């Protein structure tokens, strides 16, 4: 059977990891926000903004890593806007999140049109190139799949570990987890719920933008409209699927990407070519909904998610 063969090729897993990378960044970002108690629906737009900002910076002549930093800063800017409105002002996280997505998307497109008014096909940049990690990349199957990726992908995996350690092993992570469960407990210990939540949203938004930047700087090498294409919403589903834990979210993203990589390959088989391609394109979204249905019952949602905290409330 062709499909089984596909599962044992290194190129398939390499593609899966590549597809997973932007999702890992953005899922991690959303996870941080939600762990602190804020649902960030700005994710989709922030990814668009990050994708453009990173690419544009490199196109204007900066180095690749500087481009990543620029993307992150732009993401943090929108994160700041989101957090000001949702945290101290306690506005509806649904409405503000959608508003931030609309604002980030439209201002990105505006900036793109201003920067490149005349082009019909967007210019390309010199994107991140695969870097084979010595020795490790020699491992059969695993080597080409995991250790022959671009440095940007390696950063995604490193970040998962860093975020997990911070969340579970440091006073800061403790405070973030408490802020999403019982903000009153955080305030009673003399900490500022506002600062913790805003910080989490700002940093998380930075990660989301890096996820977007991955698309233009590592997965592809130029910027298209609609290139994020719902990935942000999928990441929200992945956070639920990962039960708000970084490791599980990583696993979810890779699994999800594997399915995505698989459908691309099945599309190209004899069997797949008889099915309309739209059917395959639907799969990621359907899969996300299924993941939500399966996990919603057992997942332990942070108790104060979407609950604003106003310390003077009586």
Catalog residues that contact another protein under the rule CB under 8 A: 41, 81, 85, 88-92, 94-96, 98-100, 102-103, 105-107, 109-110, 113-114, 117, 169-172, 174-175, 177-178, 181-182, 184-191, 196, 229-230, 233-234, 236-237, 240, 276, 278-279, 281-282, 285-286, 288-289, 292-293, 296-297, 300, 302-303, 310-312, 314
Closest approach of Cβ 22 to another protein, in Å? 17
Closest approach of Cβ 35 to another protein, in Å? 10
Comparing CB distances to another protein, the nearer of 103 and 133 is 103
Closest approach of Cβ 50 to another protein, in Å? 17
Closest approach of Cβ 105 to another protein, in Å? 8
Closest approach of Cβ 169 to another protein, in Å? 6
Closest approach of Cβ 2 to another protein, in Å? 23
For the chain, the DSSP string reads -HHHHHHT-HHHHHHHHHHHHHHHHHHHHHHHHHHTT---TTHHHHHHHHHHHHHHHHHTT--HHHHHHHHHHHHHHHHHHHHHHHTTS---HHHHHHHHHHHHHHHHHHHHHHHSSS-SSPPP-------PPTTGGGSTTHHHHHSSS-HHHHHHHHHHHHHHHHHHHSHHHHHHHHHHH-HHHHHHTT--HHHHHHHHHHHHHHHHHHHHHHIIIII-SS--TT-STTHHHHHHHHHHHTTT-HHHHHHHHHHHHHHHHHHHHHHHSTTGGGS-HHHHHHHHHHHHHHHHHHHHTT----TTTT----TT--
Comparing CB distances to another protein, the nearer of 63 and 230 is 230
Closest approach of Cβ 47 to another protein, in Å? 14
Q: What is the C-alpha to C-alpha distance for residues 275 and 278, in angstroms, rounded to an integer? A: 8
Comparing CB distances to another protein, the nearer of 68 and 237 is 237
């Amino acid at each position: 059977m062709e499909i089984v063969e596909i599962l044992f090729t290194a190129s398939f897993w390499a593609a899966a990891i590549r597809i997973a990378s932007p999702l890992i960044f953005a899922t991690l970002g959303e996870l941080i926000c939600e762990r602190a108690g804020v649902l960030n629906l700005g994710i989709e737009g922030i990814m668009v903004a990050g994708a453009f900002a990173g690419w544009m910076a490199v196109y204007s002549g900066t180095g690749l890593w500087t481009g990543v930093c620029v993307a992150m800063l732009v993401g943090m800017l929108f994160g700041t806007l989101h957090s000001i409105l949702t945290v101290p002002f306690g506005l509806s996280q649904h409405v503000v999140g959608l508003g931030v997505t609309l604002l980030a998307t439209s201002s990105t497109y505006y900036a793109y049109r201003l920067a490149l008014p005349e082009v019909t096909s967007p210019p390309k940049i010199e994107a991140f190139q695969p870097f084979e990690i010595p020795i490790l990349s020699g491992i059969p199957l695993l080597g080409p799949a995991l250790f022959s990726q671009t440095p940007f992908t390696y950063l995604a995996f490193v970040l998962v570990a860093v975020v997990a350690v911070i969340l579970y092993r440091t006073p800061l992570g403790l405070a973030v987890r408490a802020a999403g469960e019982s903000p009153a407990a955080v305030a009673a210990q003399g900490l500022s719920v506002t600062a913790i939540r805003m910080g989490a949203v700002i940093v998380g938004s930075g990660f989301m933008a890096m996820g977007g930047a991955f698309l233009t700087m590592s997965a592809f090498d130029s910027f298209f409209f609609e290139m994020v294409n719902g990935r942000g919403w999928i990441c929200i589903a992945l956070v639920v699927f990962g039960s708000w834990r970084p490791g599980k979210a990583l696993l979810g993203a890779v699994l999800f990407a594997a399915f995505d990589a698989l459908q691309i390959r099945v599309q190209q088989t004899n069997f797949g070519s008889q099915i309309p391609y739209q059917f395959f394109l639907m799969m990621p979204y359907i899969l996300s909904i299924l993941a939500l249905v399966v996990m919603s019952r057992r997942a332990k949602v942070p108790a104060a998610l979407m609950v604003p905290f106003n310390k003077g409330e009586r």
